[in-house]
Amino acid sequence: MRKRLMAAVILPFALGQTGGALAQSSTQAFQNSSSEAQRKANSSQATAELFYMIQQLQGEIRRLQGQVEEQKYQIDRLKEQGRDRYIDLDQRILELSEKVAEPPAAPTSEGAASSAGNTGTPTREYRQPDAEERKAYEAIQDLIRNQKNYDEAISRLYEFIDQYPEGDLTVNAYYWLGEVYLVKPQLEQAKQAFTIVATRYPDHRKAPDAVYKLGVTLDRLGEKQEAKRRMESVVRDYPQSSAAKLAQKFLES
């Protein structure tokens, strides 16, 4: 009787402990499964964020590549325009050389004075600028003197020469084209611009300065003898000009 009573007490106790162990094991397994699911979810989110960042970087790279292509196109276009202008200026010099070989025309106005250098060369009457032309010229002067935007000034000078040919300020424009090229320095282009003023407009007020600056340009190009010859011509042909004094100092040095 006592054995049966002890068995009845012990058996429920053992079953209770076994049930607790099984419940604890089930809880641990559920927690492990939940943690694994959370890790997978976090990993999927990180992957999605990384993919999104990669897409953004690829878009930024495409945008930058587009900008590079656009800038390359602009640079090629500017180079082409520069070559066209260089060829155009060179053609003008060739035409000018032919005109220089012709005998000078007689003065068209009564009482025409001699040139600025008192050489006896008849002067011509240059077309005087209107308000719009003078305004355009002053805007170019601002680009050169104040803004120091030489590339834009060169472009505007060419436009000015094309729009207002054979005027008083047109000669000035050729002269300042030489000055800007001399500053950059693009000496061959400066030489051509000063040559136009010196040979085509020898009676203009800018001629003495242009011949002097042509001599300076030739000297920098290493053409010493030709530079000396130009300086001597300034002193000889324009003795009363300020350029003649500068040329004399150059020759003395």
Residue 97: predicted pLDDT: 43
pTM of the model: 0.56
Residue 103 identity: P
Q: Amino acid identity, residue 70?
A: E
* DSSP 8-state class, residue 167: B
| Dihedral angle sign, alpha carbons of residues 74, 77, 79, 85 | negative
Strand, coil or helix: 127: strand
What CATH number does the domain located at 131-252 have? 1.25.40.10
Residue that is written with structure tokens 């061959």 in the block: 188
- Residue 98 is predicted with a pLDDT of 42
The b-or-e profile of 113-123 (16+ CB within 10 A means b, else e) is: eebbbeeebeb
Give the distance, in angstroms, between the CA of residue 144 and the centroid of all CA atoms in the same chain: 15
In this structure, which amino acid lies at residue 221? Answer: L
Res 58: pLDDT? 81
Around Cβ 178, how many Cβ atoms within 10 Å? 26
For the chain, the structural domain boundaries read 44-100, 131-252
Nearest residue to 158 (alpha-carbon basis) of 135, 185, 177: 177
* Per-residue model confidence (pLDDT) at position 1: 54
Among 186, 161, 164, smallest CA distance to 175 is for 161
Nearest Cα to Cα of residue 180 among 169, 170, 194: 194
Measured between alpha carbons, how far is residue 119 from residues 24, 70, 114, 200 in Å?
120, 54, 6, 15
Note down pLDDT in tens along the chain; length 253 residues. 555 545 554 555 554 555 555 455 555 655 566 667 677 667 777 787 787 788 778 878 888 887 787 777 777 666 555 545 544 554 454 445 444 444 444 333 333 333 444 444 556 889 999 999 999 999 999 999 999 999 999 999 999 999 999 899 999 999 999 999 999 999 999 999 999 999 999 999 999 999 999 999 999 999 999 999 999 999 999 999 999 999 999 999 8
